[in-house]
Amino acid sequence: MATTSSIHEDVNPQGKASHPLAVYGIAAVAALGGLLFGYDTGVISGASLFLRKDFALTSFTEELAVSSLLIGTIIGAVVGGRMSDAIGRKKTLIIMAIIFAVGAILTALMPNLPLFIACRILVGFAVGVASFVSPMYIAEMAPPKLRGGLVTFNQLAVTIGIAVSYWIDLALANANLGWRPMFAVAAIPGLGLLVGMLFLSESPRWLAGKDRWDEADKALNYLSPADKKQELKSIHEAVTSGSPPTIRSFFRAGLSMALVVGVGLALFQQFVGINTVIYYAPTIFGYAGFKSATGAILATSVVGVVNVIGTIIAIVLLDRVGRRPLLLVGSVGMAVALVAMGAIFQAGASNAGTLILISLLVYIVSFAIGMGPVFWLLSSELFPTRLRGTGGSISTVANWGGNLLISITFLSLIDVLGKPFTFWLYAILAIASFVFCWFLVPETNGRNLENIESYWKNGRKWEGTDAKHE
């Protein structure tokens, strides 16, 4: 058995190089969970036009049809942490893949609204679980040097899923095929996730946490033989120190701040209003004077593509310039764009359509380089190994809860406050997000996960330095 003694052995006798290709492959498979998250959230925007007709929806039942997925995601986020800690990241993702695939087909077949809603809650459950277990699994498999970029593969997949859902909605709508195939298509990546995960190993950190050191050793030997000795040593220190994890563990000195940062980022990621754009972009373009529905949907599709491009830029930059600069620059960019949008609506400019499109593109790029990827990355990095499932779960619940709150209040806010003040309200929240990140979010770039754990335990100081964020 590879216990403490073998942890200190020379573990790279053959001088093997690490397997970057294997690690990229693993990230790509796990990121199919992200693709499904994006697809299943984005698909409803185009599908709701058809559902409205087929199920004779009122505004209330339409809101229900749209938000049922979000209800499922919150349940999934609550359950997913315990599930992935109990049965492992791999089995959890396999079960979710089955739910994604079966749920997609069932949704497409449903004859009435209550059954449709039940299926969306079921699929939402898988989205909620996968939204944090996929990035967490990638973070636990990745060598520290590649972790930021690899985990962000998942956010890239989310944005690709959203963009693809817009384009598929558009194509199927033009072909007059209705809403059913829009949902059924998600079975394909669902099956991809299932087959892919069957071939991947369990996370070495989860295995070590269950005292299965032999398997953890084997997994690391495959993933990053060059760093294995150091990784095993720090995993060992992390999983054997301290008392067994409970929710109260967070409230002991130091760790509560990890939770504050995780939950704070989760809420700010939603409170800056991203999903008013993702779910309601055609409506916003409509306000700005886009005459035809096709024009508005086409502009929305452009927003989807720019979201993907911004996320690619983030992948390139995250492990070079770090997480904090991107969060800070992104928050400023969003605030500026939101102030501009409010001003454009306030002025009632005649060419508002183009100006709103430009502002929305600035906004989406700013989100895509900062809050979008960095929240999910940090929620997989911030928490100590033994509490990662629980911590990730709590911040994911906050994220989906915030998402639901913003999505169901947007149209009413427009009614009550008017367009300018609604966007200015989100601008104030983007400024608050800047202040929060400036003071509380540490720079985790290049640190291994156990190093991050000691940062919290040392009262927010990196080992061997006095600097707080650095």
Q: Which residues bind ligand BGC (CB under 6 A)?
A: 41, 155, 158-159, 162, 269, 274-275, 278, 307, 372, 376, 399, 403
Select 234 or 403, whichever has its Cβ closest to ligand BGC: 403
The three-point CA angle 82-32-176 to 5° equals 120
Nearest-approach distance from CB 87 to ligand BGC, in angstroms: 25
When computed from its CA atoms, the radius of gyration of the chain, rounded to whole angstroms, is 22
Number of H helices, E strands in the chain: 21, 0
Nearest-approach distance from CB 91 to ligand BGC, in angstroms: 24
Nearest-approach distance from CB 399 to ligand BGC, in angstroms: 6
Nearest-approach distance from CB 372 to ligand BGC, in angstroms: 4
Nearest-approach distance from CB 168 to ligand BGC, in angstroms: 17
Select 204 or 370, whichever has its Cβ closest to ligand BGC: 370
Coil, strand or helix at 50: helix
* Distance, CA of 30 to CA of 205 (rounded, Å): 16
Give which of 47, 206, 68 is closest to 133, Cα–Cα: 206
251-260 contacts at long range (C-beta below 8 A, 24 or more positions apart): 253/457, 253/459, 254/456, 254/457, 254/458, 254/459, 254/460, 255/384, 255/387, 255/456, 255/457, 257/440, 257/456, 257/460, 258/382, 258/383, 258/384, 258/391, 258/456, 259/383, 259/391, 259/394, 259/395, 260/440
Nearest-approach distance from CB 376 to ligand BGC, in angstroms: 6
Select 73 or 249, whichever has its Cβ closest to ligand BGC: 73
Select 207 or 327, whichever has its Cβ closest to ligand BGC: 327
Six-digit token string for 252: 């002991």
Select 207 or 441, whichever has its Cβ closest to ligand BGC: 441
Coil, strand or helix at 413: helix
